[in-house]
Structures are given as structure tokens and as C-alpha cells.
Amino acid sequence: MNWYEKLNQYFPIEEMKSQEHMERLLKEKGDVYYKDEGKYHVLMYAEFQSFIFIDYVYVSKESRGQGIGHKIMEKLKAKGKPIILEVEPIDYEDSDSEKRLHFYQREGFKHAQSIGYTRRSLATNEINQMEILYWSPGNDSEEEIYEKMKKMYEDIHTYKDKEIYGKSYQPVDEVLKIDKDRDSNIFDNLEA
């Protein structure tokens, strides 16, 4: 099974970029967009001058608990930049969603509570709500994380979207919102 098939089997269709989109990012934005692949993992990420965005991280079921995810995070943290990622809210039908949140919490990630992220999927046309998690060695504010997310959305998520999908994703200002009154912390919903 190739790297794209692994990601495609693991991530919901509404969260997946097409293989063409990812291959174009790797080829045409190879100075920013990277693939790190091993026997038991696939990591797709963008590294900008001031931050890293994890697009997808997959660790095979048979190798979970062996520290592969931790090693991946340590390798990224060693770059000394804030690390940002999107995660779906807990879905009690999907036990992996809670396990993922526990993992990121153990890795020291914080929930950007004031950042709202809602995007219509080009694959399903459904509204997809995500939460933003981040790790910051310099204690970046949520406003700073928000500005970094906007850059990532425009440079990575919407890269040649009209050309690749035949239609465009929504503009960044419709997708990302900052709202100080959002007060639920996704980690508060985790069972101990």
C-alpha cells in the first residue's frame, strides 16, 4: 500500500486532499511541503520560516504504542518553531479521535480555543468543523497562531484548488474566525 492509500484509508474523505493536490504540493512547493515516510508512518507537513503545519500524520495500528508518534513530534519540535495542526472534535463513534487528542495533550499541545475553523468539503459538500491544536516553544498567542493558520490555508489548502478540483475552497476569512468568547477546551472533554 502506498503512502496516499494509507492516508486515504485512515482519514475521513472530507479531510483528505486529492493525491494530485498532495503530489503537486510536493513537486511545486517542495521548498515548503514535505513527506516523511517510513514502514509504519506517513507524515505530510509544511515548514514555513516561522512555523510548521502538520497536514497529516499516520501511524499504523500494528505499530502504535511503540513511540513512533512521539519520535515524529520530537523531530519536529527540535526545529524550534511553533507546530500547528487541525483535529476533529471528539467523535464517540470513533475511538481513535479521543486517542489522538490524548496523544497531542501528552505531547504538550494546546487547544487554540478562540480560533474557529469551519470549511465546506469539496469532496462531500458537507460543512466540516475542526479544532486547532498547537505547540509553541515561545508561547505564541492564539492571535499569532491564527495569523499562521491563515497563511497555511492560503498557501497549502487552497493551492491551485480550482485547477485541481474544478472549484475553489471558501476564502480564508469565511473559514477561519477568531472569537475570544469561544470557551470550550477540547481537552476538557477527554476521559481521564
Q: What does the pLDDT profile of the chain (192 residues) look like in tens digits?
A: 899 999 999 888 888 999 999 999 999 999 999 999 999 999 999 999 999 999 999 999 888 888 999 999 999 999 999 999 998 876 545 556 677 888 999 999 999 999 999 999 888 888 888 999 999 999 899 999 999 999 999 999 999 999 999 999 999 999 999 987 776 776 676 665
Domains held by the chain: number: 1
State the residue range of the domain holding 100: 3-189
Q: What is the DSSP string of the chain?
A: --HHHHHHHHS-GGGPPPHHHHHHHHHHSTTTEEEEEETTEEEEEEE-SS-EEEEEEEE-GGGTTSSHHHHHHHHHHTT-S-EEEEEPPP-TT-HHHHHHHHHHHHTT-EE-TTEEEEEE-TTT--EEEEEEEEE-TT---HHHHHHHHHHHIIIIITTTHHHHHSSPPPPHHHHEEE-TT----GGGGS--
pTM for the structure as a whole: 0.92
Q: What is the CATH number of the domain that holds 52?
A: 3.40.630.30
